[in-house]
Amino acid sequence: MARRTILFASNIDDPAPWKAFFARERPDIEFRIWPDMGNPQDITHALIWRIPNGVLASLKNLKAIFSLGAGIDQIIVDPEFPKDIPLFRLVDAGLREQMTEYALYGVLHWHRRMGDYARQQGAAEWRMHPAVHPSQRLVGVMGLGVFGTDIARKLASMGFRVSGWSRTRKIIHGVDSFVGEKEFRTFLGQSEILINVLPLTSDTRGILSSELFAHLPGGGALVHLGRGGHLVESDLVAALDEGQLDWAMLDVFPNEPLPRDSPLWAHPKAFVTPHVAAQPVSDAAERLMLENFNKFDRGEEPTGRVDLRVGY
């Protein structure tokens, strides 16, 4: 078997644990860390989160590209991205559980009016608000892939009235499935709490806009943990200011880190987190990646193959 050489590149992941893991589990693989990649012709596999445009295209012996996260838009945005090289995204590695936790927290925070109680605490105000049964709450999940399906299923099991919108029809117990553009407005109309876990594609870029917000029931909530490119920030701020949305919990943004002058930082109806809804759990991510490498070596299909025609 020809020698394998991995190029690791990330602006957020520490390469040391990854290098130590592969040295222990696959000593036959040479592990190089960007920008010290040596001879580009040696590189056979890329394990990346972000890398400068054009680098992947320069690796003439590249066999496969593995994303260090569930998202791939930060990789394929490269205008020279080699579309003939198979691309794989991290499908789980503890991400699913974390995404579901984040979404459930957002739903329950707004459903139980925790924001109101926090403000009342600051004013030393003792006042109870009427309880609302989960069966009276309409929750819509945009995107019914691995993450969205788990979120929808968990919410349905808690008694919420859950709908899901996706590219193809899904059968999930307790969840009403809506498909495509024709059913989108109907779906939005029964999404008092809207959760976004869509992939970023040419069709979904900028989808969280004034047009979408206008079709939601007034005074609801948004939990956004999809991709930053989904959000039109100025439209969201307007929807919050005008009361079309009562509250938004946001983990991803068009520009990250979120600029210090963004009105969302200080907005009383916004809850901002720094892209932490789901972070790969080190050991689980490394083991999943190793399994994918081993499958690729055996001529088997690794998990998480990306279909560039649809963008995920």
Question: What does DSSP say about strands 193-196 and 4-9: parallel, antiparallel, or unpaired?
Answer: unpaired
7 pLDDT band (50/70/90 cuts)?
very high
Q: Where in the chain is the domain with CATH 3.40.50.720?
A: 4-93+281-297, 95-272
Class for domain 4-93+281-297, per CATH? alpha beta
SS3 233: helix
Task: Give the tens place of pLDDT for each residue, 119-166.
Answer: 999 999 999 999 999 999 999 999 999 999 999 999 999 999 999 999
The packing angle between helices 114-122 and 95-111, to 10°, is 60
b/e for 66-76, b at 16 or more Cβ within 10 A?
A: bbbbbbbbbbb
Whether residue 8 has pLDDT greater than 60: yes
pTM of the model: 0.84
**Strands, DSSP E only, in 167-210?**
175-179, 193-196
pLDDT score recorded for residue 82: 97
pLDDT in tens, 262-300: 999 999 999 999 999 998 776 888 998 999 999 988 999
- DSSP state letter for 229: G
Q: Count the alpha carbons within 13 Å of 272 in the hemisphere toward its beta carbon.
A: 18
**Positive/negative CA dihedral, 17, 22, 24, 25:** positive
- Which class is 95-272 in CATH? alpha beta
pLDDT tens-digit map of 36-70: 999 999 999 999 998 999 999 999 999 999 999 88
Burial category of 12 from C-beta neighbours within 10 Å (exposed 0-12, middle 13-18, buried 19 and up)? exposed
pLDDT value of position 93: 64
Residues pairing with 165 in the sheet: 142, 178
- Reported as a pLDDT band with limits 50, 70 and 90, residue 91 is confident
28 exposure class (CB count in 10 Å sphere: 0-12, 13-18, 19+)? exposed
pLDDT band at 87 (very low <50, low <70, confident <90, very high): very high
Q: Which residues face 31 on adjacent strands?
A: 6
Tokens, residue 203: 């069709």
Give the Å distances, CA to CA, from 10 to 48, 60, 108: 6, 21, 34
Neighbouring-strand partners of residue 208: 231
Q: Within the chain, how many helices (H) and strands (E) appear?
A: 9, 12
DSSP letters for 85-126: S-EE----TTHHHHHHHHHHHHHHHHHTTHHHHHHHHHTT--
Query: Annotated active-site positions, please?
Result: 227, 275
How far is residue 115's CA from residue 96's CA, in Å, rounded to a whole number?
26
Cα–Cα distance between 70 and 148 in angstroms, integer? 13
